[in-house]
């Protein structure tokens, strides 16, 4: 059940990130949700590295996940333009 919730949150976070950073993206629903989930993972890793999430079970917040998804989306677009 946790995976389904993570994917749904990832879809929401990815959609919000694409709304905040509009542009011409051929990415569909799958890429959007993967960007959101990857953004949440990036936010979690950055938070653990900086000591923001000290509890073992603590995960990134919604805003941190959106910021992570924005970073992943920027990298995705930079790499996509080269190819």
For the stretch 63-73, pLDDT in tens is 888 888 888 88
Measured CA to CA, the distance from residue 68 to residue 39 in angstroms comes to: 4
Tell which wins on pLDDT, 26 or 68. Answer: 68
Measured CA to CA, the distance from residue 49 to residue 78 in angstroms comes to: 25
Measured CA to CA, the distance from residue 24 to residue 63 in angstroms comes to: 24
Q: What angle do CA 73, 78, 27 make, to 5 degrees?
A: 50
pTM comes to 0.73
Strands (E), 1-83: none
Q: How confident is the model at residue 25 (pLDDT cuts 50, 70, 90)?
A: low
| Residues 55, 57, 48, 67, CA torsion sign | negative
Tell which wins on pLDDT, 12 or 27. Answer: 12
DSSP 59: -
Q: Where are the domains of the chain?
A: 2-82
What mean pLDDT is reported for the chain? Answer: 76
State the average pLDDT over residues 52-76.
78
């Amino acid at each position: 059940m946790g995976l389904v919730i993570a994917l749904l949150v990832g879809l929401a976070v990815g959609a919000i990130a694409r709304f905040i950073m509009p542009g011409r993206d051929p990415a569909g629903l799958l890429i959007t949700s993967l960007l959101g989930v990857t953004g949440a993972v990036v936010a979690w890793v950055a938070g653990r590295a900086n000591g923001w999430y000290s509890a073992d079970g603590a995960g990134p917040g919604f805003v941190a996940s959106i910021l992570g998804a924005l970073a992943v989306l920027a990298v995705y677009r930079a790499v996509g333009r080269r190819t």
